Amino acid sequence: MTAGQPRADAAPEVGGRGVRMPRRERREQLLESALGVFVAQGYHAAAMDDIAERAGVSKPVLYQHFPGKLDLYLALLEVAADDVIANCRDALASTQDNRLRVEAAMGVFYSYVADAAGAFRLVFESDLTSEPAVRAQVDRVTSECADLIAAVIHDDTDLPHAESRLLAVSLVGMAQVSARFWLAEHGDTEGGIDLEVASALVSGLAWRGIRGYPLHD
């Protein structure tokens, strides 16, 4: 068996076949199963049959909770996007020290990528970017995180809005790409770089880059 196609039906199927369940709880169950399948296979390769099977229900029940495949995907994507944006906001608000802000924000991206559920793949590696609604959510993550960072930069320096925003996007890109590569190369093996070490290293790069700009006051 090749390692390129991780099968998605290895879940324990907590709510087994034919079990009556409250609608709210079942909806959560379906979302969880769908996340697993979308993360493992991507949007196009994921079949509604797979999702239903993994959730331990049949396809009609799935369609009783979600009008279609796209709606299901968007529901998951929106949650994943809100999650990282909120964490980024909290990280920036957690301190007034900009150096610590950089470290905290970097840690948010690394933790997000390291999360076992793998929801970050919906945001950073989506295969449905041709769909405008998906594109909007994906772009929203970088855009809103960058806005939060840009506000800090703009407050503390003399840089105009547009320039602050471009620098903020650069920092977000640095965090996002490096975190994904860290996961791919060192995330699973024990011989690689630890998450905290990697996050601190890249935080250092980011802080050295951003700290030198002229202060506002």
Partner DNA sequence: TGCGGATGCCGATCTTGACGTCCATGGGTG
Partner DNA sequence: CACCCATGGACGTCAAGATCGGCATCCGCA
Residue 13 contacts a second copy per CB under 8 A = no
d(CA 183, CA 188): 7
# binding residues, DNA (CB under 7 A)? 18
State which of residues 13, 42, 61, 193 lies at the interface with DNA (CB under 7 A): 61
Minimum CB–partner distance for residue 72 and DNA (Å): 8
Out of 8, 34, 57, 74, the only residue in the binding site for DNA (CB under 7 A) is: 57
Stretch that binds a second copy, among 28-36, 57-65, 78-86, 205-213 (CB under 8 A): 205-213
Q: Is 213 helix (H, G, I), strand (E, B) or coil?
A: coil
Residues 1-20 that bind DNA (CB under 7 A): 17-18, 20
Instruction: Closer to a second copy by CB, 17 or 135: give it.
Output: 135
Segment interacting with a second copy, rule: CB under 8 A, options 27-35, 65-73, 87-95, 166-174? 166-174
What is the SS3 assignment for 113-177? HHCCCCCHHHHHCCCCCCCHHHHHHHHHHHHHHHHHHHHHHHHHECCCHHHHHHHHHHHHHHHHH
If binding is defined by CB under 7 A, does position 63 make contact with DNA? Answer: yes
Q: How far apart are CA 145 and CA 112, in angstroms?
A: 13
Roughly how many angstroms between the first and final C-alpha of the chain, as a whole number?
62
Residue 59 contacts DNA per CB under 7 A: yes
| CA Rg value for the chain | 20
